[in-house]
Structure 1
Amino acid sequence: MSPAPFPSRDLSMGLAALRDGITSGDIAERVDFAPGVSLIADAPLDVGGTWRSPAGRLLELDISMAGRGNWIALHMALDLPDLADIAFVGFGCTGVGPTQQIIRPCLRSGLDDGGFVDCFLDRHILTRTDAIPHVDALHVPTCRTLPETAPWRELLLFLPTEPLRWHLHDLRMFAA
């Protein structure tokens, strides 16, 4: 059994670029931070704010909302079209925030008809003032809604739909 190419080449390069570089910009309805790494928000949220990626960290987000909307998420493209020989798909991360807020991780799989299906991981990320590790995984054989094959997949981190300050220090994905 050979391991699946995971994460995607673009995402691996994008995460490496964010860790190694010093970049920054403004938050908008869609922001492409690096290849394979984007922030996408529901338009009625009317998001604003700033982001930066200091050397040695992934992202420091300072997001404001002027409206009311239903979702905002970090999207990370994955190269996992076939899960036949995979038992677990997961990730680990560290980060900090000045207040406790909940971030909901999800594996999104594209469908052949153009739609998608979301499979939420069991544990949410709780932002805290100290950088504690968070690790979670899906047990593929018991996720009834997770398609074995998909034209595309993403790891999504659904952020709160209220102002957020979060420093994502590191994020790593795995499939086994």
Structure 2
Amino acid sequence: MTDSLQFGADAQVNHTLVVLREQKVDIAISDGASLVPGTLLSVDREGDISGRCTSGEGALLRLDYTVQKRPRWLALHLSLGGVNLRGSTLLGVVCKSRASEASTFRVCLRSSTPSGFIDAFLPKDVVSFAKDSTHIDLLRLDGNPDVPGQADWRDLILFFQPTPASFEIRDLRVFIV
């Protein structure tokens, strides 16, 4: 999709997801790798992980990896840009996933601050099973000390388990109200 016709606080991340949904991606999992513009894989360089990140054939994202030395983190960053969250109440995600065996990951909203960044984790783990499973989670924004109203940049981050895994994110939707 070449047109970005979405509006609202969640427009940038949802456009990125549309582009990812329509692309065929096949890359090695490595720190700094980008699947499509607005995405970034982050892998702890002190760990040793090998595998592939692919998309297509019904999967928004497919991760298949082994771990030789356990990293502290393995994450996919989805840029939200500098979205202003003043006046917003909730950030929500809906995720459909599947895994060869039960697997979990966490979703986090990261916001820039003058001293670095601050993370606000959504309350529930996403759990993937051998058949399609759907997960919904909400993060309260107003009054949350971990979510500044204004930030130069924000990322929605999926923190995957740093243990061997094979799973698919079949669909992911983000909304901010």
Q: TM-score, normalised by structure 1?
A: 0.89
For residue 58 of structure 1, report the CA deviation from its aligned partner: 0.9
Aligned 8 A contact 1:13 1:35 in 2:
no
RMSD: 1.7
Matched letter for residue 109 of structure 1? S
Which of 35, 38, 58 is the equivalent residue of 1:36? Answer: 38
Aligned to 1:157: 158
Q: Say whether the 8 Å CA contact 2:49–2:70 is kept in structure 1.
A: no
Runs of 4+ in structure 1 off by over 4 angstroms are none
Once the two structures are aligned, what percentage of the paired residues are identical? Answer: 29
- Relative distance call for 1:175 and 1:90 in structure 2 (3 A) is same
The match for 1:136 is 137
Once the two structures are superposed, residues 100-158 of structure 1 have per-residue CA deviations (whole angstroms, 9 ceiling, x without a partner) of: 12201111001123x00000111110121111111111111242221111111111111
User: 1:124 corresponds to which residue?
Assistant: 125
SS at match of 1:95: strand
Structure 1: which 5+ residue stretches go unaligned?
A: none
Unpaired stretches in structure 2, ≥5 consecutive residues: 1-6
In the TM superposition, 1:42-61 aligns within 5 A as 42-61=44-63
Q: Does structure 2 conserve the Cα–Cα contact (< 8 Å) formed by 1:7 and 1:77?
A: no
- How far, CA to CA, are the matches of 2:128 and 2:174 in structure 1? 19
Number of corresponding residues: 171
Superposed counterparts of 1:1-176, under 5 Å: 4-8=8-12, 11-79=13-81, 81-113=83-115, 115-176=116-177
Change in 2 beyond 3 A, CA 1:102/1:56: closer
Output the CA distance in 2 between the equivalents of 1:110 and 1:16: 25
Shift of 1:63: 1.6
Question: What one-letter code is carried by the residue in structure 2 that aligns with 1:24?
Answer: D
Q: Give the C-alpha shift of residue 55 in structure 1.
A: 4.3
Alignment CA distance shift 1:30-1:79 (3 Å): closer
